[in-house]
Structure 1
């Protein structure tokens, strides 16, 4: 096996389309837009066995004086996870072959990363790819993260009946009839509302710019969607989704009175939409904060795991602490 930089957009995107693990975040133009706004250099790595592409691994590199960092995805991109994508062949292998296959891929990528002698490496892997042991064996720290997924292979009545009783009652209240979730292409309102919410908490909004979001949604209008939630004529919030292979609730921002149940409405409305359009999985990202989990579990989801794998030297640890103290905080 050998790692080479993939130069052909068509080869890359065809691989992402065919792999069960590829998402819109892995698509060529998405990665290039991230490169444009992040200031990081994209290395679209491919792992080849002979002439056959068996895995891809988008890495972002940046050097700031003596400090060198590699990310997948880079900070402030808004991407929940990126990391490596294995070929469709991988899932069909027996376990012993899977382990040989995966070990070789990770070893090759690790050797490639080491050529840059980075002070900091951070990789967030796709949801529900559970075998991260080869990274541990290459001296990476491994931290689990969690998401919720609602499987849509049942009919809507069964999905509805799986909801917690008080959720079904909330979604049946008359106030729900005055809620509307409206698709839109106007990103400015979404961006300004989200930025304002972060600033109110003393935080910097962790997205490069409105132009970054506008470019992404312009290039992938069928797979990245924006919706605004109205109660009568009043705007209550917004949500963005990734609609490619699986239906993912992506970035959102709402400020909804407790008695209106707008967040509950958004999720139920989009579950029905995803089911109608043939999606098999509906992902509610983020199951790591106890107070938020209490709300999300009302929908009777399944827990999925993803990982952050990280390696840092002394300079990398110092940079991480500085970022957490000063960069993420507003002012």
Structure 2
């Protein structure tokens, strides 16, 4: 423990304060001169933690006679998964109190505990490098690895144990090259894949960019390449005469090239050139892979006694990948393609955007209900295909362990195509969306005449109370036909919708149906298979209605650009395909109806089947315009 500061034999009391912007320079001056301080005590971390990570910071310092005598960086972390905590310092291996004397340390300890109690956090965590709070619970999960390095490269090489030294030499022999001063973009591509393989989500690229922008030359990226391709990368921090290779990893191929070993050796060489005399390998959990890797380099583990003041928690938390509670999440993340981390977020934003766009352009009925479901499934399918393609391009290569894989230009070429394709989609997507959102042409009336049916008498004017309800049609026609010698009149209804579906001009929508519910009710429904004049078979929907005039049988079906179906969903899909393809689509509904007379339902079906077979199978498309007569509507 530091000795208390005395003035003429009396202890001069200190006070604790919350850091204000005007005191930041004094804070850093104290940190620079305090032997116990670390890179992670620098005040710039406050801006990164608050502005990039979104955690509220509480930086406390002790002051005596206007001079800072101790500092304690704290950040309040709220997480649905990990709870509510006060940590010194999150994302940093070191933290805790740095004080010039025992009184300052005691005052900061009391202030931190009081703040934790006031905030009602689960716990306060101080990431000390030395045991400083013997009466607090301590977690011994982590150990640190720090070692002095020599100014001579050869001595540092010989200080590495023989087996690990052989791995470094292997990387050298395989032609690995290290480049210092790399970009965050190069680093992030390698590091994101590396931590994904370990089962850990990667932080946003913005975080690492902010680190480099904030700390400048004290934050350096080293990229290791093999035949021009990045296989490993590390972001190192420099503080006084120390180097911290902090965020590092390699791609799958790099493991077979000893890329990590070569990378850390290159950082050690670079640190010597920059005047560093201490190599800090960071922390590791005891008895893990990284723990043994660092020991093989000749580093000895040093306990990191992180101390805890429990507020609402009952025990020291175990927020670690070694916790079985998180094992399922880790295994799932390890097998997740890298694009999957980003694509669902972007896709969900686009889904919301296009739903609003559709509702604003075509009407709320298109943004909800059946339409919403169909467009949603289409969008889901597109996103799924994009996700699978992205995962294929960025999949881990299968490399034999005996020897490094030969350079294969095909995966590289495939990856090179991803960028141009994404750019093209970003350019074409808004233009395509703008085309979909462009105002539809005004609905022009389409005048239809009832077709002449061979052998049947008609067309005649309808006289029954059967009245289909299809609102917003560009044109419609109703007619009655009687078969020679027949007793019942068969009625026909045909309505046409042209152009892009929009509000008030939609074939499949709530309220459109082949009967008027105010005049009839449905007794039963079924499907029937019929043949048309051109030999095509078609399934139609059958309704049996009951109304004031008795029982009636109705057959109906939909057509979109001469493709016909009984299914409203299939009709929507056909319409959507035409709209997305930019085609000038035409949709229509055909309905036939006959009373169920003395011949019963079988005779009624025979009458409907006979008229359907006799209807013309071809004819001109409906014509828009103001003409007295126009050809009949789209053929069934």
Range into which the TM-score falls when normalised by the shorter chain: 0.7 to 0.9
Distance, in Å, in 2 between the alignment partners of 1:309 and 1:163 is 33
Aligned to 1:250: 246
Q: CA RMSD in A?
A: 3.3
Instruction: Tell me the matched-pair count.
Output: 309
TM-score normalised by the chain length of structure 1: 0.79
Query: Which residue of structure 1 aligns with residue 309 of structure 2?
Result: 311
- What per-residue deviation string (whole Å, max 9, x for no partner) do you get for residues 43-86 of structure 1? 11001234331110011125689x75312223xxx322222223
Q: For the Cα contact (< 8 Å) 2:88–2:125, is it kept in 1? A: yes
Cα distance change on mapping 1:21 and 1:42 into 2, 3 Å: same
* Greater RCO structure (CA 8 Å; 6+ sep): 1
Q: Does 1:61 align with 2:79?
A: no
Alignment match, 1:94: none
TM-score after normalising by structure 2: 0.44
**Residue pair 2:232, 2:249 contacting (<8 A) in 1 also:** yes
Please tell me whether the aligned partners of residues 121 and 312 of structure 2 are also in contact (alpha carbons under 8 angstroms).
no
CA distance in 2, matches of 1:274, 1:102: 33
Write the distance in 1 (CA, Å) between the matches of 2:142 and 2:173. 33
- Name 2:112's counterpart in structure 1: 109
Q: 2 CA distance for matches of 1:258 and 1:212?
A: 26
State the shift of 1:19 in Å.
1.4
Tell whether 2:121 aligns with 1:121: no
> Does structure 1 residue 80 correspond to structure 2 residue 122?
no
Aligned counterpart in structure 2 of residue 188 of structure 1, from 185, 188, 197: 185
Choose which of 23, 27, 30 in structure 2 pairs with 1:12. Answer: 27
Report the Cα offset of residue 101 of structure 1.
6.0
Question: Which residue is 1:299 aligned to?
Answer: 297
Q: Determine whether 1:222 maps to 2:217.
A: yes
For residues 130 and 216 of structure 2, the distance between their equivalents in structure 1, rounded to whole angstroms, comes to: 31
Given that 2:182 and 2:223 are in contact with CA atoms closer than 8 Å, whether structure 1 keeps it comes out as: no
Quote the offset at 1:257 in angstroms.
Answer: 4.7
Matching of residues 15-26 of structure 1 within 5 Å: 15-26=30-41
Larger Rg computed on CA atoms:
2
* CA–CA separation in structure 2 for the residues paired with 1:103 and 1:171: 46
Give 3-state SS (helix, strand or coil) of 2:73's partner.
strand
Check 1:315–1:80 CA distance in 2 against 1; reply closer, same or farther (3 A cut). Answer: closer
Distance 1:64 1:297 in 2: 34
Gaps of 5+ in 1: 91-97
> Equivalences for 1:196-215 in 2 at 5 Å?
196-200=193-197, 202-205=199-202, 207=203, 209-215=204-210
- Report the Cα offset of residue 230 of structure 1: 0.3
Please give the residue correspondences for 1:271-286 in structure 2 after superposition, counting only pairs within 5 Å.
271-286=268-283
- The answer on 1:71 being equivalent to 2:87 is yes
* 1:118/1:239 CA distance change after superposition, 3 Å: same
Unaligned runs of 5+ in 2: 1-13, 334-636
Separation (CA, whole Å) in 1 of partners of 2:29 and 2:55: 24
Q: Give SS of 1:286's match.
A: strand
